[in-house]
Structure 1
Amino acid sequence: MLLRLVPEFELRRDVLPWLAERGCAAALDTSENSSALYVVNVERNGKIIYTWKGNQRNTHIGLYDLQTKQNEHLYMFEKNLNIISCSINNERTLLAVSFCQYTEEERAAQLLQSVSKYLTLLIEIHPINNVRVLKAVDSCVRVQFLYPVEGRNASRESRLLLVSEDKYIEQFDIHVVAEEEHKVVIQKSGQLPRAKVADDLVWAQWDMMEQRLFYIVPKESKSTLRCVQFYPEENFNSILESHLDIAVNDTQLKLVNFGYDYCQDQDVASKSLKNLQVFTSKAGGLCVCCSLVSDIPHEIIYSIYFLHKGYNKTFTVSLERAESHQLKEVAFMNLDYYVAAYLPGQFLHLLNIQHPDMLCYSLFLTGEDARIDALQNCSIRCPWVSAALDCSAGSLYHVSISDSALLQLLHKSKRDCERLAALHCALLYFQHTEDLEMQIIRWISENLSTCHSFDPIQEFIIASLYCRLCPETENLDKLLPYTSLHDWIGAVPGVRCATDIISLPVLEFQNSKGFWEKLNSNLESVKYAEPHLHYHSKVLRREWHSLSEEREERRTTAYLRNIFENAKKVLSHLDTWDSGARLVPLFEEEDYQQQLLMGLMVAQLKDHLMRHLQYVGKKKIDQIVLDYVANLLNLVHRIMKEVWRRYQLHSCIFCFDERGSAAEFAVFHIMSRILEAANGMCMPLPPGFHTLHLGLGVRCLPLHTLLHYIDSGILQLTETCVRKLLKDLDDTEQNEKLKFSIVMRLPEALGQKVRQYWNHPINANFIARKYVKLLLEKLGNRQCSRPVPERLSFPVEFLPLNYLTNMLAEIENQGVHPYEKQDHVNARFVEETALKHTMTLLGLKYS
C-alpha cells in the first residue's frame, strides 16, 4: 500500500484494557452500547479526550496522553448524557464540556419545555471543585481551549472558544488563582469577559497546531473564506480573506476539528456528500479541498483551490464499477507536500501542493494500488499534518508515503504520468537519502528507453538539486528549476481536470513570521512571475557556443580568466566531498569545454540569484551557486558510480587491444543518454567524461559506427584518449585504418599536439604537408620584387610540384595566416617523407 498508516492511538487497544482494570469494560460489550465509547476531541499537545458510559449509566470523561501512553479519568456525570464537545486547557486545570441533557422524546414525555436542551459547563478539575454554566440553550455548542506555544510557562489565564450552532463564535477569557493545597480555581469576578470572534458563518475549521480559525461567510452566489490567527500573548487578528466560488449550504453550520460528536457526525455523513477542509503546508501552501455532488451516477467530483497559486483544479473521476449505495464523499488528508484525496475501494489521488500546475506531478492510483486497509470509510479528519483520525473507529494514525511501495510502483508502472509522479514524489517528499537515490539510479539505468514523454536523467538531476538546496534558503524554490519539462500534454486515464483562475487571497498582517510570511511570498511570486522566475539555460547555451568558437589567442581575456576561476572553485569544492578513491576515472584531466561551461553556469546563476535574493548577501549566494554546480557534477558522478558498480567494470578501461564486453556496451549506452540529457539542459559534465565515453566507444563500436558517432558529435575526441590510442595500438591494418580515421578528424589545435605520438608514414605525411604549408605561408608573407610567373594551363606529372602549385594557389586565394608558434620539425625527415610518398604513388621502388 502506498500510504503507510501507523496507529498511534486506538480505543480498543489503548483504552479498553484500562477500563477493564477499573471494572468498566463489561458495560461496553453489549450491542446497545456499541457507541458508548468514542473520541470526543484531540488537543494540540497530543492529549486525546474520550467518553464512555459506566455500569450505573454514568457518563465518564477520560484522557489519553500520546507521549506517556497513560490514561487518566477527568470527570464523571451521574446521569446518561450525550457528550457533544469537550476540551481541556493546557495546564489541565479546567475542563469545558458541552452535552445534550435529553432527547426530543424525553422532552415531550416529561414536559421539559422550560429546560434548555443543551448545556455548556466550565469545570475546575485541579482538584474537582467548582462548576460554572457558560451556556444553557436549545442550540448545539462546541468548545475549544486555545493553547500557547510550546515551552511557554504556565499561565494564569485561559482562553476558550465557544462555537454556537446559531452561527457565531466567541472567546471567553478565564482568569484562575492558586489557593492553598495546590488548588486552582476560577477567579470570582462575576461574568467572564468575552469577545465576538466571528458571526454569520456557515462553515468553520480549527487548526489546533497553529491556533488558527478558518471560517466561511456566504456572500450572494459566492463565499468568502476568512482566517483568524490567535496569538500566544495577544488577542486575535483577522488575517486572510479570499473569495471562493463555492456554494455552501447555509441551513446548518458545518464544523471541522471542533471535537467529534459521534452521533451527529454519523447523521451528517449519511445525508450529505460534501466535505470541505482547509490544509496548509510548511512551505506556505494554502489549499481548500471540497468534495462536490455530481448529478451523473458513478461519477465523483472534487475541487482543490490552490490559493497560494491563484487557480482551482476540479477533478472528475469516472468509476468503472460501483454500486450506488457505496458512493461516499471523498476524504482528504494533509501530507504537507501532498494532499491525498481518497475514496475507499476506488481511488487514491496524491496532489502535489508545491507544483500543481501539471497533472504529471500528481499520482492517481486505482484498484489494488489505491487500497488502504485501515481506512474503510470516509469519516476521516486531519487534526494535524500527516495524521488521520477515523472518527467512527476511534483510531488515530500517523500517515506517510511508503518509500518501498513507491519504488515498487515506479518499477511496475507502465504509464509515463505515473512514473514521473512517482519519481518526483520519491525525490521531493523523502528529500535526500543515499539508499533511495541509489535505487532510483538503478531504475533509471533500466528504463532509459521506456520513458517517452520525459527524460528520467534530466528529471532526476534537476529535482535532486531542487530538493537538496531549496530548504536551506528562503524563496530559493521560486528561482531554481524543479523540472526539465515546460509543458505536458498527456492525460491521466479516467480523470478529467478543469483549471480555473481565481483571485488571490488578501492578507493583512504585520511582522508575522512563519507560515504567513511564506504564503505572502508565494502570492507575491504569482503576481510578478512574468517573466518566469525560474533559472533557464537559454542565455547560457548561447554564450557557451559563442565562446567555444573563439580562437585560442582570445582566451586570455579578463572575462575568460574569471570564468575559469569559477570552474576551479567548483572542482575544488567537489574534491572535498569525494576525496576517497574514485571507482570511475573522472575529474582527472583538463577539459576546456566543460570547465568553460561550469564557469559560465556559475556566473549566470549568480547573476540570476543576485537579482532576486539581494537580501541574502553575496557571500551566501556564492556558496549556493558553488553548491548547485558541484552537486550537479556529483550527481552525474553518482550515476556513473552506481552504473559502474552494477555492471562490475574495472576502474580503468583504456585498453584498446581487445573488444568491449556486453557490460561495457550497456554502460556506453547509459553514458550516451547522460550526454544527451546534459546537452538538452546545457549542463556541464565532469572533466574526463568525454574521454571515458570515447574509450568505451572505441572498445564497443564497429569502426563505421564509431566514426558516425564522432561526426555527429555524440563522441568527442579528447587529447587524453587519442594520445593513448595512437601510442598503445600497434600498426596492424585494422588499427592503421582506425588511427587514420581518427587523425583525419582531429581539430587543428589538437592534431598538432597528438600526431607526433604516431610514428607512421601516413602520419608523417600529414606532418610534412603541414610543414611545407607553413614554409610557403612564410615565404608568401615576404615582399618579393620578382614577377609572379603565369600558371601552367596543363598539369605537370610530378606530384610534389603539383602539390606545391596547389598550395600556392590556396595561399593566394585565401590570404596568409601565419602561426605564431609551431612545433620543431626536422627538415631532413620532411624531405624523405615527401620523396617516399611520391615514389609510392608513382609505383616506384624506394630504397
Structure 2
Amino acid sequence: MLLLFVPPADFQPCGPDVMALYSQIWPVDKPHITYLVSGQTFCYTSALNWSRCDKIKDRKRGHLRNTCIGLYDSQTRQNEHLYTFERDLHIISCSVNNERTLLAVSFLQMTKEDKVNQLLQPVSKCLTLLIEIHPVNYVKVLKAVDSCIRVQFLYPVESGNPFPESHLLLISEDRYIEQFHIHVVTEEHKVVIQNTGQLPRERVADDLIWAQWDMTEQRLFYIVPKESRNTLKCVQFYPDENFKLILEAPLDISLSDMGLKLVNFGYDYYQDTEMAPKTVNLQVFTSKTGSLCVCYSQAPDIPEEVTYSISFLHKGYSKTFTVALEKTNSLQVKEVAFLNLEYYVAAYLPGHFLHLLNIHHPDLMCYSLFLTGEDASIKLLHDTSIQSICKLTLLDCCSGRLFTVKINEDSLMRFMWNSKLDRDRLAALHCALVHLGSAADLEDQIIQWILENLSPCHAFDPIQEFIIASLYWRMCPESSQLDKLLPYTSLLYWNGVVPGIACTTDLISLPILKVQNCKGFWEKLNLYLENVKYAEPQLHYNNNVLRREWYKLLSEEKEGRGAPVYLKNIFENARKVLSNLDTWNMEERLVPFFQEEDCQQQLLMGLMVAQLKDHLMRHLQYVGKKKIDQIVVDYVSNLLDLMCRMMEAVWRKYNLYPCIFSFDKRGNAAEFAVFHIMSRILEAANGLCMPLPPGFHSLHLGLGVRCLPLHTLLHYIDNGVLHLTETCVRKLFKDLDNTEKNEKLKFSIVTRLPEAIGQKICKLWNHPVTSNFIARNYVKLLLEKLGTRQRGRPIPDRMSIHIEFLPLNYLASMLAEIEDQGLNPFKEQDHVNAKFVEEMALKHTEMLLDL
C-alpha cells in the first residue's frame, strides 16, 4: 500500500464507528447529531446513520428528537457543543466563524414524514439562519427559498484584530454566490450582531455551473458557461480587502446537461444517497510552488476502460489517460477519485489502479508512478465515494472518516527494491526524493539501493539521476525560481510506454491573471506562465559550456597560457566550496578524502561555481549577487557531500577501514568491488562534468594498482579511467622495491606521467630510467636557453646542480664549449633535434666506457 492514511492526528469523528466517543460527551437522550467540522481546514456536515435506530427508543420514552451541532477541534482533539435544535432537522450546510461566536445553518424545513402529515400551506423548502452562539442570544433569517443553500464563513489568513466583522458566503442552487458582511459588537460579555436589519451583501459570482472552495488558501474556483467554451475563474479572498477576481482560464471540457456541482462545500449524506449517478467529476488542485491543475473525468462509455484528464494550466498542456481495466465489476465504483498530494496528483480507482502524476515535471511518463494490483490497494478506504477535501486530506464519505494522506516510505522503498522495470525504478526514485525533506535515513536507503542496482538499470544511470535529483530537491526551497533553472534529471528524453495505459497530450490556452503584482501562490504561477509564454524551454542549467571551458583551461594550464587573474578567481571559488565542507572534513570519516590538493578537480569546482552563478544571474537579477553566490556554493558543496556519502556507504558495505594503501600486497575481492563502484561513480561524474572530492583519483588509482593486472592497469590509465596523481605515485615509488616486476610497473608509470609530475617523481627513484628522464629534461632546458639567447647579451649562468650521470656531464661540457666559442651549430636549422643530440651523447659515452 503506497499511500498511507493517518487518522489519529487529524481524525474528525463524523461517522457511526465513533459512537463510543460521542457517548462520553453527548447526553444519551440526544442521539441524533449532525456534526460540523470547521476551522482552518474545511467545513463538513453529516447526519449519522445510526440515528434512525434510536428513533423508536426515543418515541417509546416520549422524548422529542433533537439535532445537535458540534465542533471537533483537530488541534485539541476535543468536541465542543455549539447549538441544539429541539426537533429533527435535515441540515444541508453549516459553518462557524473564526471566533466561534456566529453560526450559519442551512436546513430543509420539513422531513419526509412531515410532508406526508402536513396541511396544505405554502412553506419555503430551505431556511438559512444566522445564530449568535456566544452565548446563544439571537437568530436571524438570511434566506427562506425553495433552492438549497450552502453556507461558508471566510477565515482570514492573517488579521491583527478579528473583530468587528465576519464574512459569510451563501452558495445557492440557483447558480449564484453572495457574500454577507456581518458587523458584531461586544455587549455585557455578549457578542451580538450590530445591525439586525438588512445585512450588507454583494454578488461574488453569477451563472456558475460548478464551484469549489479552497479553505486553506481562501479561494473560490468556479466555472461559467461561455458561447464557445467554459471558463474557469478564481476569486481570492483577502483578510484586509474584500475579494478580487484574479484568474480566468478557458477550458476544453464539456459540462453541459448538468446541475450545479459543488466541491468542498460540505457533504450531505441524504442528498448523496438519493441523487442520480454522477456524470462529471472535476476538481482544481494547487500547490505552494505555483502549480495549478484541473482534474476531470466522466462516467465511462465503455465498461472495460476509464478515461481521465489532467490539465496542467501552469505548463500549457493537458494529458488524457485511457486505462484498460483488467477486471470489470458492475458493483464497483467507476469514478476516479483525485487526490492532492502537493507535488503529485493521484488518480485512484479503487480495486484497479493508483496513478501518481508528477505535477512539476509531467512531460515524461517515467516520472509518474502507475500502480496496479496489490501496490494500488488502499485497504483503509471503502470502495465508494471518496473526496479530496484539501491538500493531503481525504474524506471517506461512507465511514465519515478523514485521513491525512502520506506517501508510505516503507512501501515506496520496497516497491523500488522489487521493481523490475526502469520506468518504475526511476519514478520511485524521484518520488522518494520529493518526499525526503530532512530524512537522511531514507536518503541512505536510496544510496544502498543504488549500490545494489548499478548494473540492472539500462535506461538511466542511477548515480547521475540520484545526484542531480537530490541537488534539485535540496536547493529548490532556497528560491521560488530555482526549480526552473536547476537541472532535475540526467535524461533528455524517454521513449518508454506503460502497458495498459494510453496517453495523449494536447496544448491548452494559458490562464490569464487579472491582477498584476500578485504575491505568494499567484506570483509563482505567473512566473510559470511567463516561462511558457515566452517559450524558454532551455532555462535549466546544462554542463555543455562547463565541459568546453574546463577542457580549455586544462589545455592552457598545461601550456602555461592561463590568465593568472581569472584562474585566481576560479580557485577562490573552489576554496569557498571546500570551506563549506569543513564540517565533513573535520569529522571522523572512513574514506580518506580531502587529504591532498587536486588542482584539476578544484579547477572544475571553481569553474562550475562561476558558470552556475552566471546562469542564475541572467534569470534571478532581483535575488541579489550575495544570495546567488551562496546558492551556487551550496549547490557544489552539496554535490561533493553526496559523492562523499556514497563513498562512505561503499566503505561500510565492504568493511573497508580508513587507511593509506600500501602497494606491497594484492587487493582482495572487497577492494575489487569498491574499485568497480568507484569506476561507475567516475563514469557518472565525467558524463555530467561534475567535480569529485579531492583524493578520489588517488584512492581509485591505489585500488587499481592493488587489484588489476599490469596490462589492465595500463589500459585503464591510457583510456582515462585511472588518473595518475602525484600523491599516489609518490607512495607507489616509496613502497615498492626494485624487483623486476616492480621495475616494470614503475617504468610503465614513469613513461605515462605528465611532465610536471614526472620531474618531481623521478628524483625519488634511483634508477637509470629516471636518470635518463632527468638527462632528457636537462638537455631540453639547456637547448631552450641556447636557442632563446639574444646576441649581445651576457651568457646566462650555468646550472650549478651537478648530476652524476656521464652522458649528461659530457653533453653539458660540450654545450658549454660551444657557448664560450660563440658558435651556433644549429645556425642553419629551424629546429633543434634534442633527441638526436641525446642519442649521440649516449653513443659517445658507450665508446668511452667500452660498453
Q: Does 1:17 align with 2:33?
A: no
Are the structure 2 counterparts of residues 323 and 837 from structure 1 closer, same or farther at C-alpha, using a change threshold of 3 Å? Answer: farther
Letter in 1 for 2:622: Y
**Which residue pairs with 2:696 in the alignment?**
689
Determine the structure 1 residue equivalent to 2:76.
68
Select which of 183, 196, 212 maps to 1:175. Answer: 183
Match of 1:379 in 2: 385
Q: Look up the equivalent residue of 1:164 and give its one-letter code.
A: S
Query: Which letter does structure 2 place at the counterpart of 1:610?
Result: M
What's the counterpart of residue 208 of structure 1? Answer: 215
Cα deviation digits, residues 419-440 of structure 1 (max 9, x gap): 1111111112222322112111
Aligned to 2:171: 163
Q: Which residue of 1 aligns with 2:818?
A: none
Q: TM-score under structure 2 normalisation?
A: 0.89
User: Does residue 670 of structure 2 align to residue 663 of structure 1?
Assistant: yes
- Partner residue, 1:79: 87
Which of 137, 142, 155 in structure 2 is aligned with 1:134? Answer: 142
* Partners of 1:483 and 1:519 in 2: CA distance: 22
C-alpha deviations, 1:332-355, integer Å up to 9, x for none? 111111112111111111111222
1:40/1:49 contact within 8 Å kept: yes
Query: Do 2:300 and 2:334's aligned partners in 1 also have CA atoms closer than 8 Å?
Result: no
**349, 353, 356: which is aligned to 2:355?**
349
User: Could you list the runs of 5+ residues in structure 2 that have no partner in the other structure?
Assistant: 59-63, 792-806, 812-823
Q: Which residue of 2 aligns with 1:715?
A: 722
Contact 2:30 2:66 in 1 (8 A): no
Residue equivalent to 1:286: 292
Shift in Å at residue 596 of structure 1?
1.4
Shift in Å, 1:690: 0.8
Q: Per-residue displacement from partner, 1:601-628 (whole Å, max 9, x unpaired)?
A: 1111111111111111111111111111
User: Quick one: which amino acid aligns to residue 671 of structure 1?
Assistant: M
Q: Alpha-carbon deviations, 1:474-517, whole Å to 9, x = none?
A: 31221111111111111122222111111111112244321111
**Contact between 2:45 and 2:93, CA under 8 Å: does it hold in 1?**
no
Counterpart selection for 2:452 from 436, 446, 453:
446
Q: Cα 1:211–1:782, aligned 2, differ >3 Å: closer, same or farther?
A: closer
Task: Tell me, in whole angstroms, the C-alpha distance in 1 between the residues paired with 2:195 and 2:565.
Answer: 81
Q: Which residue of 1 aligns with 2:681?
A: 674
8 Å Cα contact 2:37/2:72 also seen in 1: no
Contact 1:49–1:61 (8 Å) recurs in 2:
no
Aligned to 1:114, which of 119, 122, 129? 122
1:93 aligns with 2:96: no
Query: Is contact 1:51-1:59 (8 Å) kept?
Result: no
The offset of 1:195, in angstroms, is 0.7
Aligned residue type for 2:108: C
CA apart distance, 1:765: 3.6
Question: Is the aligned partner of 1:390 residue 2:393?
Answer: no
- The answer to whether the aligner puts 1:463 opposite 2:445 as a matched pair is no
Tell me, what secondary structure is at the counterpart of 1:493? coil
Which residue of structure 1 aligns with residue 575 of structure 2?
568
After TM superposition, give the deviation of residue 837 of structure 1 in Å.
Answer: 10
Letter of the 1:360 partner, please give it: C
CA distance in 1, matches of 2:112, 2:267: 21
Q: Give the aligned partner of residue 790 of structure 1.
A: none
Q: Which moved more, 1:754-763 or 1:302-311?
A: 754-763
In structure 2, do the counterparts of structure 1 residues 537 and 80 end up closer, same or farther at CA, with 3 Å as the change threshold? same
**Matched residue SS, 2:538:** coil
SS of the aligned residue for 2:174 comes to coil
The answer (yes or no) to whether the contact 1:653–1:695 under 8 Å persists in 2 is no
Cα offsets for 1:514-536 (capped at 9, x unmatched): 11111112211222342511111
In structure 2, how many angstroms separate the alpha carbons of the residues matched to 1:17 and 1:739?
A: 83
The change in CA–CA distance for 1:91 and 1:781 in structure 2 (over 3 A counts) is closer
Alpha-carbon spacing, 1:675–1:19, altered in 2? closer, same or farther (3 Å): closer
1:727 aligns with 2:734: yes
- Aligned in 2, Cα 1:390/1:25: closer, same or farther, shift over 3 Å? farther
* Paired residue total: 807
Q: Deviations 1:38-74 (Å, cap 9, x if unpaired)?
A: 6555442578655555733332222212122222232
TM-superposed CA distance for 1:164, in Å, is 0.8
CA contact (8 A) 2:36 2:69 kept: no
Deviations 1:84-141 (A, max 9, x none): 1111111212211111223578546645462122221222222222222222222111
User: Would you say the 8 A contact 2:181–2:201 is kept in 1?
Assistant: yes
Structure 1 residue aligned with 2:437: 431
Q: Counterparts of 1:441 and 1:144 in 2: how far apart (Å)?
A: 48
Retained in 2: the 8 A contact 1:287–1:306?
A: yes
**C-alpha contact 1:334 1:382 (8 A) present in aligned 2:** yes
User: Corresponding residue for 1:44?
Assistant: 40
Q: Deviations over 1:795-819 (max 9, x none)?
A: xxxxx99xx9xxx999998824999
Deviations 1:526-584 (A, max 9, x none): 22342511111111111111121123422352222221222222222222443223321
Gap change, CA 1:754 and 1:27, over 3 Å in 2: same
Q: 1:779 deviation in Å?
A: 6.3
Report SS of the residue matched to 1:10.
coil
Partner residue, 1:791: none
Contact 1:41/1:85, CA 8 A, preserved across alignment: no
The aligned residue for residue 407 of structure 1 is 413
Separation in 1, partners of 2:160, 2:503? 46
Q: Does 1:498 align with 2:504?
A: yes
Which has the higher mean CA deviation after the structures are superposed, 49-58 or 565-574?
A: 49-58
What is the match of residue 815 of structure 1? 831
Q: 1:753 to 1:552 in 2, by over 3 A?
A: farther
* CA distance in 2 between partners of 1:640 and 1:488 (Å): 29
Match of 1:795 in 2: none
Instruction: Answer yes or no: is the 8 Å Cα contact 1:239–1:507 preserved in 2.
Output: yes
Q: Provide the C-alpha distance between the structure 2 equivalents of 1:811 and 1:25, rounded to a whole number of angstroms.
A: 120
Aligned counterpart, 1:228: 235
Three-state SS of the structure 2 residue aligned to 1:615 is: coil
- Residue type matched to 1:289 in 2? C
TM-score by length of 1: 0.89
For 1:833 and 1:755, the matched residues in 2 are separated by 21
Correspondence for 2:225: 218
Q: Which amino acid aligns with 2:638?
A: N
Residue by residue, what CA displacement relative to the aligned partner does 1:417-466 show, whole Å, maximum 9, x if unpaired?
11111111111222232211211111111111111111111111111111
Distance 1:11 1:815 in 2: 96
1:62 counterpart SS class: strand
Q: 2: distance between equivalents of 1:810 and 1:430?
A: 71
In 2, Cα distance between equivalents of 1:292 and 1:503: 22
Kindly report which structure 2 residues correspond to 1:273-672, keeping only aligned pairs within 5 A, or say none.
273-530=279-536, 532-550=538-556, 551-555=558-562, 557-672=564-679
Consecutive unaligned residues of structure 1, counting only runs of 5 or more, are: 29-35, 785-799, 820-826
CA displacement 1:184-219 (0-9 Å, x = unmatched):
222344222211111111100000111110001112
Q: Deviations over 1:367-397 (max 9, x none)?
A: 1111111112342223321111112211111
> What is the match of residue 793 of structure 1?
none
Equivalent-residue separation in structure 1 for 2:175 and 2:833 (angstroms): 90
Q: Distance in 2 between matches of 1:379 and 1:386?
A: 17
Would the alpha carbon gap of residues 731 and 463 (structure 1) be closer, same or farther in structure 2, given more than 3 Å must change? same
Counterpart residue number, 2:155 = 147
Take 2:613 and 2:723, find their aligned partners in 1: how far apart are those partners? Answer: 29
User: How far is the alpha carbon of 1:149 from its aligned partner?
Assistant: 2.2
Deviations 1:214-272 (A, max 9, x none): 0011123521000011111221111100001111134310000111101212344x612
Q: Is the 8 A contact 1:147 1:211 kept in 2?
A: yes
Identity between Structure 1 and Structure 2 (%):
67
Higher alpha-carbon deviation: 612-621 or 324-333 = 324-333
Structure 2 counterpart of 1:547, which letter?
L
Q: Structure 2 CA distance, aligned partners of 1:357 and 1:688?
A: 39
Amino acid of the structure 2 residue aligned with 1:276? L
Q: CA deviation at 1:744?
A: 2.0
- The structure-2 alpha-carbon separation of the partners of 1:781 and 1:43, relative to structure 1 and needing over 3 Å to count, comes to closer
